[in-house]
Structure 1
Amino acid sequence: MTVLKRILAATGAVAALTISATGAWAQDCPHGDLDARYCDRDGDLIADIPEDASELLDPNPLIFAYTPVEDPAVYKTAWSDFLSHLEETTGKDVVFFPVQSNAAQIEAMRSGRLHISGFNTGSNPLAVNCAGFRPFTIMASKDGHFGYEMEIITYPESGIAGVEDIKGKQLAFSSPTSNSGFKAPSAILKSEYDLVAERDFEPAFSGKHDNTILGVANKDYMAGAVANSVMQRMIERDVIKPEQVVSIYKSQTFPTTGFGTVYNLKPELQAKIKDAFFSFDWEGTTLQEEFKKSGEEQFLEMNYKEFWDVIRKIDAANGVSYSCQ
C-alpha cells in the first residue's frame, strides 16, 4: 500500500470513528431544541443535571436576579426577606443582581454568572434552551390562580377606539424577547387584525413594560402592548392613575415569570433552593407587600413542558428560533 493510500485509509477510519462517536453521543445525549451543550434524556424539555461531578457548581455567594420589568431598586427591597430565607435554607450568601435587559440576564446565566433567577414569560424558552435554565415555580394567588393577560392600551382621546385604529399609527412594545410586550401582540395583531409592524403601523421599543405604560400614560406613545400585572402594580403604587390609560384589547391568560436555577448547580443545592421557594412564609414580608398588588401570594410548583406550551406555540407562529448566538 502506498503512503497516499495509507493516509487516505487512516483518514477514512478517523472519519468513520468520528461519525460513530457523534452518533453515539447524539443517542446518549438527546437535546431537542436545547443547545448542544445540554442533554434532555427524560424528555421534559429542560437541561438535565450533569452526571459528571466535575461539571457541577457549588458557588458561594449565590447570584439571584429578577426579570427586568421595573425599577431594580424597588425589587431589591421587595425580594430582601425572601433572599434572607434563601440564605438560611442553603447556608450560603445570596447577592441580588439587578439585570437591565432580558439578553443580559440570559447571557449571565449562560456564562455561569447567574445561578437563580426569574425569567419573564417570553424569555423563559430562550433561557431554557440557551442558558440551561431549569424553571420549577411561578407566583400564584392564595387560591392557586396564576398568570396575567396581555393588554393593548392607549390614553383617553388618543383617537384610538379599537385595535383597528392602530393602523397608520405607532404602537410601543417592550423588547423582542417579551411575550406580552412583543411576541403575543405581534401574533394576535397579524392573525386577528391583519396588522403587521412596519407595514401597517410604526413599532417602537421602550425596553421595559413600565416604560411602555408610563409612555402611554404621559402621551409619549399613542398605544402600547403590556403585561397587565405590571400595570396593576404601578397603579397600586400610584405611579400612574387608572384614568390615564384605556384598554382596547385583553388576551387569554399566560403564565407569569418562571423561577428556577441554572442546570449545573449540585443536585443537593438545587433541592435546597427549591425547598426555599416552597417553604417561604409570605405573610408580612416585603415580597407579599409588593406582589399582593397583582394578587400573587405564594409560589406554585409547575413544569415548563406543560405551562409554557402556549408560549412555545406563539413563538412558532412568529417564526422565533431558540438557537443560541
Structure 2
Amino acid sequence: MAKRFLTALLVLLMAASASVAFAGDCLNRGQLDELYCDEDGDLVADSPKDESEWLDPSTLVFTYTPVEDPAVYRDAFADFQAYLEKATGKRVVYYTVQSNAAEVEAMRSGRLHIAGFSTGPTGFAVNLAGFVPMAVKGYADGFQGYNLIMIVRADSPYKKLEDLKGKVVAHTSASSNSGNLAPRALFPKEGLVPDKDYRVMYSGKHDQSIMGVAHGDYDAAPVASDVFDRMAEAGRIDRDDFRIIYRSAKFPTSSFGYAHNLKPELVQKIVGAFHTYRFPPAMQENFKGADRFYPVTYMADWKIIRDIAESTGTYYNKDGLKKMAAKEAAKRAKKKN
C-alpha cells in the first residue's frame, strides 16, 4: 500500500515538474491557449522549438470558411489547390466543415493544415488552434474589405461625429457589425457615445438606414461602405446627396493561413504559393473581383476586429468558442425546422 502510494506520489511530482518546466519554457503566451507560445510578441503562436514537433504531412488538408453550399467553394478553390500541390510537392485535399467552431477544432486537433477563417472566428483560430493568418483576398493595391461609414445628408450642418449629439441616428440591427457593434466600439473614442449622446433607432437594414437619411427620417446612419457603394452604382441613390463624416479603418474579409507547427520549410512554400498565385476569371467572379491573396498580419490588420470584440464582450477563449458553437447549432436547428 505504502509502495503504491509512493509510486503514485512520484508520478505526480514528475508530472508537476514537467508542467512547471513546460510553462517555464514559454516566456510569453499572451491570450493564446496553454498549448502555444508567443515569445516574439506578434500575437500568434510561434513555431515549436522542438523540431520533433514539426509537421510535414504527405497530404495537406485545406478548407474555406463554412458557407450555405460548401461545394461552391470547394470547386472555386480547385485551381488554387492544384497550384498549391505544385508549390509544395504534396497532395492537397479539400475538407468540408459545417461550422466555424468545427473548423477551429479541426485545426486544433491537427486534422487541418491550411484554411480560410471568417473575419470574427479568426481570433478563435489564432488563440485556440495555433492558426497563423497571412493573407486575405485582395488586389494589387490592397486587401478586399469594407469600412464603417457615418453618413449624413449633404445639405445638413453636420461635419463631424460630435455634431450629432442630441440627434437621431439609425443603427441597422443589434447583431450587425458595421451597423451597430462597430459604432458602439469605435465612436466613444471619437467623442460620441451611442444611446447617451444620440438617440438610436433601428432601421432593420443598411439600405433602409441609407434611404432614411436621404428622406430626412434620421439625421445620420452608420452603414457598411460596400452597401452604400452598391446602391450608388445601381442608381438607387446619388452620392452627391450625402456627406461621409467618418470612415473607419478597413475591416478585412476572411483570413487565410496555416497551422503554426508545420515544418518551416513547408511554411515557406505555402506562403510563397499564396503570394504568387493569381485568380483565374471564374475565381475572380466568385470573389467579387479579387484577383490575388494580399499579405496581412493578425497583429496589425485584425486590431480593429479585436477592439470591437473586446468592447462588445466577445472573448477569443474556450468559453467564447462554446458560445459560438451553441449559436451555430441553434441556427442549423432552426433551418431544419
TM-score class, shorter-chain normalisation, is 0.5 to 0.7
1:270 to 242, 256, 267: 267
Q: Match of 2:175, as an amino acid? A: F
Measure, in 2, the Cα distance between the counterparts of 1:118 and 1:225. Answer: 28
1:105 to 103, 107, 113: 103
Per-residue CA shift, 1:13-70, capped at 9, x if unaligned?
98887666544322312311100011223222111223242562515252321364x6
1:121 to 119, 122, 134: 119
Task: Give the C-alpha shift of residue 152 in structure 1.
Answer: 8.6
Please say if residues 62 and 95 of structure 2, whose CA atoms lie closer than 8 Å, have aligned partners that are also in contact: yes
Task: Give the C-alpha shift of residue 92 in structure 1.
Answer: 0.9
In structure 2, what is the equivalent of residue 285 of structure 1?
281
Task: Give the C-alpha shift of residue 190 in structure 1.
Answer: 7.2
Please say if residues 175 and 181 of structure 2, whose CA atoms lie closer than 8 Å, have aligned partners that are also in contact: no
Please say if residues 195 and 201 of structure 1, whose CA atoms lie closer than 8 Å, have aligned partners that are also in contact: no
TM-score scaled to structure 1, two decimals? Answer: 0.66
Cα 1:226/1:133, change in 2 over 3 Å: farther
3-state SS of the aligned residue for 1:38?
coil
Cα 1:72/1:137, change in 2 over 3 Å: same
Per-residue CA shift, 1:69-121, capped at 9, x if unaligned?
x6544433432322221232233132152x44433322232233332112233
2:33 to 32, 35, 48: 35
Measure, in 1, the Cα distance between the counterparts of 2:287 and 2:229. Answer: 8
2:256 to 239, 242, 259: 259
Please say if residues 189 and 195 of structure 1, whose CA atoms lie closer than 8 Å, have aligned partners that are also in contact: no
Q: Does 1:171 align with 2:173?
A: yes
Task: Give the C-alpha shift of residue 165 in structure 1.
Answer: 5.1
3-state SS of the aligned residue for 1:113?
coil
Cα 1:180/1:274, change in 2 over 3 Å: farther
Measure, in 1, the Cα distance between the counterparts of 2:127 and 2:119. Answer: 14
In structure 2, what is the equivalent of residue 221 of structure 1?
none
In structure 1, what is the equivalent of residue 194 of structure 2?
194
Per-residue CA shift, 1:285-305, capped at 9, x if unaligned?
322233344xx3222222222
Measure, in 2, the Cα distance between the counterparts of 1:46 and 1:193. Answer: 32
Gaps of 5+ in 1: 154-161, 205-211, 218-223
In structure 2, what is the equivalent of residue 158 of structure 1?
none
In structure 2, what is the equivalent of residue 159 of structure 1?
none
Measure, in 1, the Cα distance between the counterparts of 2:83 and 2:102. Answer: 26
1:1-325 map, 5 Å:
21-29=18-26, 30-50=28-48, 51-54=50-53, 56=55, 58=57, 60-66=59-65, 68=67, 72-90=70-88, 91-95=90-94, 97=96, 99-144=97-142, 146-150=144-148, 171=173, 173=175, 180=178, 183-188=181-186, 192-195=192-195, 228-229=225-226, 231=227, 251-257=247-253, 258-282=255-279, 284-293=280-289, 296-325=290-319
In structure 1, what is the equivalent of residue 324 of structure 2?
none
Please say if residues 65 and 114 of structure 1, whose CA atoms lie closer than 8 Å, have aligned partners that are also in contact: no
Cα 1:149/1:261, change in 2 over 3 Å: same
Please say if residues 64 and 96 of structure 1, whose CA atoms lie closer than 8 Å, have aligned partners that are also in contact: yes
Residue-pair matches, total: 288
Task: Give the C-alpha shift of residue 172 in structure 1.
Answer: 5.2
Measure, in 1, the Cα distance between the counterparts of 2:222 and 2:37. Answer: 36
Cα 1:62/1:170, change in 2 over 3 Å: closer
Measure, in 2, the Cα distance between the counterparts of 1:79 and 1:241. Answer: 33
Measure, in 2, the Cα distance between the counterparts of 1:57 and 1:226. Answer: 45
Per-residue CA shift, 1:123-167, capped at 9, x if unaligned?
2222100111011112332223553214699xxxxxxxx997578
Measure, in 1, the Cα distance between the counterparts of 2:272 and 2:138. Answer: 17
TM-score scaled to structure 2, two decimals? Answer: 0.64
Please say if residues 135 and 295 of structure 2, whose CA atoms lie closer than 8 Å, have aligned partners that are also in contact: yes
Q: Match of 1:265, as an amino acid? A: L
RMSD (CA atoms): 4.7
Please say if residues 184 and 194 of structure 2, whose CA atoms lie closer than 8 Å, have aligned partners that are also in contact: no
In structure 2, what is the equivalent of residue 156 of structure 1?
none
Cα 1:265/1:146, change in 2 over 3 Å: same
Task: Give the C-alpha shift of residue 214 in structure 1.
Answer: 10
Per-residue CA shift, 1:177-199, capped at 9, x if unaligned?
xx658752442477734349xxx
Please say if residues 62 and 113 of structure 2, whose CA atoms lie closer than 8 Å, have aligned partners that are also in contact: yes
Please say if residues 86 and 94 of structure 1, whose CA atoms lie closer than 8 Å, have aligned partners that are also in contact: no
Which 10-residue stretch deviates more, 85-94 or 130-139? 85-94
3-state SS of the aligned residue for 2:33?
coil
